[in-house]
Amino acid sequence: MPLDELLPPAAFPDVRELSPLQLAYLGDTLHDFYVRSRLIAHRAPVGQMHRRAVRFVSCEAQAAMLETLEPELTPEEADVVRRGRNAQARHAAPKHALAAVYAKATGLEALWGWLYVTGQGERLDALMTAALSGMEEQWAKQN
């Protein structure tokens, strides 16, 4: 079920009035929501779900997800990602993350936020599902 059917967008300002970092702020929550919703379906113990969720929401995982999705993005979506990636946050990247990796993750989160705010829930759902499925397959091969 597309997220916009589950959580209809609030009355947002025009998306052009939102900064890439504001879109990423919302996109971060959407990403976490999708990950946890997907994990709950496995009915694993909460501790195990939490450990898996941490792997999926890390900036390294998000950057890898973006790399797999980039060929599928429309020019407009790629522009949103670029603006998110190039946005200058007033806070530093986490100590464990490279700045370039953190920037890619911010670009992906900006895309999630933009898709949601513009009412493109089906596209958000399709891209999010593809991104998470790709990471699950990649980690299954590693383990």
The whole-number pLDDT of residue 103 equals 92
Q: Is pLDDT above 80 for 24? A: yes
pLDDT recorded at residue 102 = 87
Per DSSP, 59 falls in state H
pLDDT per position as a tens digit, 44-56 = 888 888 888 888 8
Q: What is the mean pLDDT of residues 1-28?
A: 77
pLDDT at 40: 86
- Are the beta carbons of 111 and 80 closer than 8 angstroms? yes
**What's the DSSP call for residue 90?**
S
Prediction pTM value: 0.85
Q: List domains and CATH numbers for the chain.
A: 17-142 (1.10.1520.10)
Q: Is 124 exposed, middle or buried (0-12, 13-18, 19+ CB in 10 A)?
A: buried
Task: Out of 4, 14, 28, 79, pick the active-site residue.
Answer: 28
What pLDDT is stored for residue 141 in this prediction?
57
State how far the Cα of 143 lies from the Cα of 138, in Å rounded to an integer. 9
Tokens of 134: 């790709």
Is 28 labeled as catalytic in the residue annotation?
A: yes
> pLDDT band for position 76 (50/70/90)?
very high
Q: Name the residue among 114, 129, 93, 142 with its Cα closest to residue 20.
A: 114
